[in-house]
Amino acid sequence: IMVFNVWFRIRPAQQKIMAAVRDGQPPDPALLTMVATRARHSTYLTVPLFWTMMNQHTVSLAGGAYGIPDGLSWLVLLIIILLGWNIVFQLFRRAGKLTGFCPIEGHTTE
């Protein structure tokens, strides 16, 4: 999903945005919004990716460690993913917003 997101959605849109800026024209606001949304989706997808990659090498929360039965390791994965998504959501919510910025004079992204 992340690879498709980057190569078939974000990258082509960014190329169109860069071409518009290079030609001195304002980029399409819909493309700017789509790129920002897809980038946010990719950020959320890094949480399960990171956890599963890390857990493949440190099986401390799966496979019977800490009293967690083998059959419930999927539940631990789900809890960690939900917790991670909540942390990412809180960070996005608290992050500063950049409004009205566009490298082209007289154009805003609002």
- What's this model's pTM, rounded to 2 decimal places? 0.61
How far is Cα 64 from Cα 79, in angstroms, rounded to an integer? 16
In a 10 Å sphere around its CB, with 0-12 CB exposed, 13-18 middle and 19+ buried, how is residue 101 labelled?
exposed
Q: Does the pLDDT value for residue 110 go beyond 60?
A: no
Q: Which residue has the tokens 């399409």?
A: 28
pLDDT digits (tens, 9 = 90+) for 26-76: 899 889 888 988 988 888 888 888 877 776 666 665 555 666 776 777 787
